Amino acid sequence: MDTPALLDLIATRLPGVALAADEFRGDLRITVRREDLLALARLLREDPELGFTYLENLCGVDYLGRQPRFEVVVNLVALPAARRVCLKVGAPEDDPRVPSLTAIWPTANYHEREAYDLLGIVFDGHPALSRILMPDDWIGHPLRKDHPLGEEEVAFSFNQERIYAHKPFAKE
């Protein structure tokens, strides 16, 4: 199914949904509002003519200085034909929330946790949204453009007690 047919199908099945679609370097990208994300995602997965059953990638991008500041990018594959589509959803700085896709593609679980951990994008409906790469007591979201490329303070014997007092295992 070529791009115009795909977009027509979406327009037919989801008439109220406003989309922006473009092709860049041969890839189709569809920008959708976060209110319409779940409906579009379900259609892409369940419609027998589309069948995007494989979520290959989900990540966040911080476009500091642009409205909306955050963007979640989802790369989907329809497995037998290996057709690819890219979904983009924006989230504003003051309300960085996007619906979670875990209920539709369970593999989104870890991807969304990473985007939350590193960028602070909250995924509504995620079963266990928590930090995954950074230590649990980390404050801030490292991949944001206004977060420094810092480091974690190294624990030597003279400062070990002070540092470990704040760690989660101090209570165990």
Partner 1 sequence: MTQIFHVSAPQEIIGPALAGKTETMVLNMGPHHPSTHGVLRLVLELDGEIVVNVAPDIGFLHTGIEKTMERKTYQQALVLTDRMDYLAPLSNNLCYVLAVEKLMQVAVPERAEVVRVLLTELQRVSSHLVWLGTHALDLAAMSVFLYAFREREQILDLFELVSGARMMTSYFRVGGLAYPLPDDFLPTAAACIDSIGPHIDEYEDLLTNNPLWLERTVGVGVLDAEAATAYGLSGANLRASGVSYDVRRATPYSGYETYAFDVPLGSSGDTFDRYQVRMAEMRESLKIARQAWQRLKDLGPGPVITADRKVAPPPKSEITHSMESLIHHFKLWTEGFKPPPGDVYVSVESPRGALGCYLVSDGSPRPWRVHFRAPSFVNLQALAHMAKGRLVADLIALTASLDPVLGEVDR
Residues near partner 1 (CB under 8 A): 24-25, 27, 53-57, 59, 61-63, 73, 75, 77, 79, 82, 84, 86, 105-111, 113-114, 118, 127-128, 130-136, 142-143, 149, 172
- The neighbour count for residue 128, using CB atoms within 10 Å, is 9
Smallest distance from partner 1 to CB 142, Å = 6
Smallest distance from partner 1 to CB 55, Å = 6
Nearer residue to partner 1 within complex by CB, 11 or 110: 110
Between the two ends of the chain, the Cα-to-Cα distance in Å is 56
What are phi and psi for residue 46, nearest 5 degrees? -95, -20
Smallest distance from partner 1 to CB 30, Å = 13
16: tokens are: 């109220």
> Kind and range of the H or E element at 117?
helix 108-119
**What is the full DSSP assignment across 121-153?**
-EEET-TT---SSS-TT--S-TTSTTS----PP
Nearer residue to partner 1 within complex by CB, 29 or 34: 29
Nearer residue to partner 1 within complex by CB, 36 or 75: 75
DSSP state of 167: S
Smallest distance from partner 1 to CB 26, Å = 8
Nearer residue to partner 1 within complex by CB, 21 or 73: 73
DSSP state of 66: S
